[in-house]
Amino acid sequence: MATSKLQALWNHPAGPKTIHFWAPTFKWGISIANIVDFSKPPEKLSYPQQVAVTCTGIVWSRYSTVITPKNWNLFSVNVAMAGTGMYQLARKIQHDYFSETEAAVAKE
């Protein structure tokens, strides 16, 4: 029973025998790299870059559902990209606009 399910996945139109599998799988590297960068200090983050990552993730998430074959691997990697981008943006905005007062008080 398990083998037939595995076989179905193996032979899927967006499965590991096709480019529809490997292209998105490789793209996970970008999101993983962004997750590694969660520990980077916010001063070193780039607004244009994180906005680009976020927008690209959102647009491509939609794209993945309207192509043939429908590609949930591509969908999930782009949802992750948008998610990491938004998180990084939130971190940087928080640092730039909402922690200045704390820093000013600390200096006094």
Indicate if the alpha-carbon torsion angle 7, 79, 24, 61 is positive or negative: positive
Determine contact, residues 76/60, Cβ cutoff 8 Å: no
Residues touching another protein: how many (CB under 8 A)?
28
31 binds another protein (CB under 8 A): no
Q: What is the DSSP letter of 16?
A: T
Q: Whose Cβ is closer to another protein: residue 11's or residue 49's?
A: 49
Q: How far apart are CA 76 and CA 1, in angstroms?
A: 27
Determine contact, residues 77/24, Cβ cutoff 8 Å: yes
90 binds another protein (CB under 8 A): no
| Binding test (CB under 8 A) with another protein, winner from 2, 66, 105, 106 | 66
| Binding test (CB under 8 A) with another protein, winner from 10, 26, 38, 72 | 26
- How many Cβ atoms sit within 10 Å of the Cβ of residue 11? 11
20 binds another protein (CB under 8 A): yes
63 binds another protein (CB under 8 A): yes
| Binding test (CB under 8 A) with another protein, winner from 12, 15, 37, 87 | 37
Determine contact, residues 78/57, Cβ cutoff 8 Å: yes
Contacts with another protein, residue ranges (CB under 8 A): 18-20, 22-23, 26-27, 29-30, 33-34, 37, 45-46, 48-49, 52-53, 55-56, 59-60, 62-63, 66-69
